[in-house]
Amino acid sequence: MVSLIQLEYIVAVDTYRHFATAAENCFVTQPTLSMQIKKMEEDLGVMIFDRSKQPVIPTDVGKLIIDQARITLRESGKIKDIVQSFQNKVNGELKVGIIPTLAPYLLPLFVGSFTREFPDIQLLVHELLTEEIIDHLQKDVLDVGLLVTPLREKNIVEKPLFYEEIMVYSNQTHPILQNQNLQPKDIAQHDFWMLNDGHCFHSQVVNLCGYQEQAQKQQTFSYRSGSLETLKKMVEVEGGFTLLPELAIADLPENKKEQTRKFNQVTPLREVSLVYVRNFAKSKLLNLLFKHIQENIPAEMLNKEKGEVTEWR
């Protein structure tokens, strides 16, 4: 008979691809974990892991068993959620992943008030790139992600939170500030600062304005940043311009907001969502987090109809 403990152990080994690390994260000794997995393999009559490979990897049948184990563990976790809801308890741990272009602007808006209102909920926040968050969600390392959608990822549920307008932020001397008919195609210039590849906002910018290689070739100095704050500094010190989402604009000092411009005849948006895997066990905590974030976001950012969502995938 396969136990939930054995399922937890094989999921941990699949997540960390190392028996000792898996045992450490399951708070057991490695011999205990290895013995339980070996017993499970013997009972099932199949090998779940190929131990000849480093790092250890699941066999073909092992992959299917581990996928089902994750579903079973999520479903079993709902029992605790049902009991807590019945008892009207609000407590537990919520592991949250958030992308770097959101973290410095969104977290200060809700984290403090959320933890004060719900002191028995422990928020564990990790700043990660989108693909890392998706991977961690599917492996149950994270409970929920705050990132830009649409993803259209299998087994991932997207719950849109708000919509940020994408705007130009320019050095105060740049001629783009004088453009009264600013269009996305006008952004493809040699003094345009961008994020690194791998950031969803980088991909949105490329999709929005068609920034092509010929513009890059005119640059005497090429720099790609992983931080919107660094891009702001480069614009101020070196000139040029960049694109920023609305929360990053709201974070600017009042005198710097004069260096922002909206596009004419088009309002590009980035959709920010709360995402989680199907069969999520902590639905009550998730709903509390979703509601609290929306209550602390400017009301106009909740309206999807104000513009058009820019795809990034």
Q: Could you report the per-residue pLDDT of 112-145, keeping only the tens digit for each? A: 999 999 999 999 999 999 999 999 998 888 999 9
| 164-268 is classed CATH 3.30.70.2740 | no
Whether 219 shows a pLDDT value over 50: the answer reads: no
In contact, 285 and 144? CB cutoff 8 Å: no
Name the one residue in this structure whose structure tokens are 């028996």: 19
Could you check whether 90-162+269-309 and 164-268 share the same CATH topology?
yes
CATH of the domain spanning 90-162+269-309: 3.40.190.10
What was the pLDDT predicted at 212?
A: 47
Whether 166 shows a pLDDT value over 70: the answer reads: yes
What was the pLDDT predicted at 213?
A: 45
Q: Which fold has domain 4-85?
A: Arc Repressor Mutant, subunit A (1.10.10)
Packed helices 60-86 and 4-16: angle between N→C axes, nearest 10 degrees: 120
Which residues, including other chains, have CB under 8 Å from residue 75's CB and lie 6 or more apart? 279, 281
Cα separation values, 164 from 142, 197, 243, Å: 25, 21, 12
Whether 312 shows a pLDDT value over 90: the answer reads: no
238-265 mean pLDDT:
91
What was the pLDDT predicted at 261?
A: 92
297 or 204: which leads in pLDDT: 297
What backbone phi and psi angles, to 5 degrees, belong to 70? -60, -45
For residue 49, what pLDDT band results from cuts at 50, 70 and 90?
very high
Whether 59 shows a pLDDT value over 50: the answer reads: yes
Residue spans of the domains in the chain: they are: 4-85, 90-162+269-309, 164-268
Is residue 283 packed enough to be buried (19+ CB in 10 Å), middle (13-18) or exposed (0-12)? middle
189-194 mean pLDDT:
83
Question: How far is Cα 280 from Cα 260, in angstroms, rounded to an integer?
Answer: 40
What was the pLDDT predicted at 160?
A: 97
pLDDT, tens digit, for every residue of 74-108? 888 777 777 766 666 778 889 999 999 999 999 99
Please give the mean pLDDT across all residues of the chain: 87
Please give the full DSSP string across 38-55, using - where no structure is assigned.
Answer: HHHHHHHTS--EETTSSS
Whether 217 shows a pLDDT value over 50: the answer reads: no
What was the pLDDT predicted at 88?
A: 67
What was the pLDDT predicted at 196?
A: 66
As a dihedral over the C-alpha atoms of residue 227, residue 228, residue 232, residue 233, rounded to 10 degrees, the angle is -10
44-65 mean pLDDT:
92
- Which of the listed ranges 219-223, 240-244, 300-304 does the model predict with the highest average pLDDT? 300-304
196 or 21: which leads in pLDDT: 21
